Amino acid sequence: MATAHIEQTAWQPLGFVPGVALRLFGMRRSGNHAIVGWLQRNAPGGRSVFLNNCKPGQDPLRSFRGIEVNGAHAPQHKALRDMASVAGAAGDGALLVMSYEDTSPAEFTGDRQVSGGFDESRLSRNVLIYRSFLNWSASLLKKMQGNPSYSLVRRNAILLRAMDTYTRLLGMVELAKDLAVTCISYDRWCREDAYRADLLEELGLEAQDNSLGTVQRYGGGSSFQKNAKGAEDLQTDQRWRQMATDAEYQSVLHLAARDTALTDRLSRLFPGDAALLARVAAETPMIRGGLA
């Protein structure tokens, strides 16, 4: 009885006591929202609250950039003023998902915590979402190429910084057992029904809808297939092939192929990507004879 009272007090600002509380980390264009949608469809009784793209270093209950309650968009500004009045509709036992993009706990050291003063002991699980390097980098570059406000230099500066963060996130994936985190490979998640079912069990959720669902419109949806409706129609494993002749993408790969911290981790997690980058590294990116 005392434990239940403590739980209610701890979650009072939220307006309900979650049955499962998950904190997700993933780079943009890694299937974050597709996976969140799947989690919501498998929430207890379809009841859930999703706090989207929380600000690193701050309490997620006060720093989210979007909110959904029971799978539907809810008023963000009202929730920021009075979370319980919006999220409380989900009811005790509902699923809580809080997402962070382009960061992970690996980016935080010392006293600074990824969720600020939020009590992490209240979480059921931390989840790391990751995607194969070649398809992730191709998708991110393609997305930025479609934004006319981004110059070539600006978008590649963003991509190279993101590659650095991606490399450290892979380091956490390799330490998943020691860190007691759940890792979701977006590539396997797309391919394997059994993999998705096993993940739901690990996260404490009962399988109700283990499909890939519809294409999420967060971030503009797919950068390659704008008219795709069902997620099963997306060729997410072909993105690097679709960008293979793009000179800008080729330049990015020449740099990535020479980053030993990245290629070392890829050799263990995505050996196919590592093998292709090794072939890239064997070629000179400059004109024959160099600049002379």
Backbone angles phi, psi at 248, to 5 degrees: -65, -45
Q: Which residues pair with 280 in a beta bridge?
A: none
Domains contained in the chain, number? 1
Q: What is the pLDDT of residue 228?
A: 44
As a whole number of angstroms, the distance between CA 122 and CA 18 comes to 9
For residue 42, is it within any domain? yes
For residue 290, is it within any domain? no
As a whole number of angstroms, the distance between CA 101 and CA 99 comes to 7
Per-residue pLDDT tens over the stretch 159-193: 999 999 999 999 999 999 999 999 999 999 999 99
For residue 33, is it within any domain? yes
For residue 162, is it within any domain? yes
Domain that includes residue 57, residue range: 12-281
CA distances from 199 to 10, 18, 92, 112, 195 (A): 27, 19, 23, 30, 6
Q: Please write down the HEC assignment for all residues of the chain.
A: CHHHHHHHHHCCCCCCCCCEEEEEEECCCCCHHHHHHHHHHCCHHHCEEEEECCCCCCCHHHHCCEEEECCEECCHHHHHHCHHHHHHHHCCCCEEEEEEECCCHHHCCCCCCCCCCCCHHHCCEEEEEECCHHHHHHHHHHHHHCCCCCCHHHHHHHHHHHHHHHHHHHHHHHCHHHHCCEEEEHHHHHHCHHHHHHHHHHCCCCCCCCCCCECCCHHHCCCCCCCCCEHHHCCHHHHHHHCCCCHHHHHHHHHHCCCHHHHHHHHHHCHHHHHHHHHHHCCCCCCCCCCC
Q: Cβ–Cβ contacts within 10 Å for residue 212, how many?
A: 22
Q: What is the pLDDT of residue 231?
A: 47
Instruction: Let me know the angle formed at the C-alpha of 185 by 249 and 21, rounded to the nearest 5 degrees.
Output: 125
Q: Are the CB atoms for 47 and 122 separated by under 8 Å?
A: no
As a whole number of angstroms, the distance between CA 128 and CA 170 comes to 9
What global pTM score does this model have? 0.90
Q: Which parts of the chain sit beneath pLDDT 50? A: 1-2, 224-225, 228, 231
Q: Are the CB atoms for 162 and 27 separated by under 8 Å?
A: yes
For residue 61, is it within any domain? yes
Amino acid identity, residue 222? S
Query: Tell me, what CATH number does 40's domain have?
Result: 3.40.50
For residue 248, is it within any domain? yes
Q: Which residues pair with 21 in a beta bridge?
A: 96
As a whole number of angstroms, the distance between CA 283 and CA 263 comes to 16
For residue 51, is it within any domain? yes
For residue 201, is it within any domain? yes
Q: What is the pLDDT of residue 237?
A: 74
Q: Which residues pair with 24 in a beta bridge?
A: 99, 127
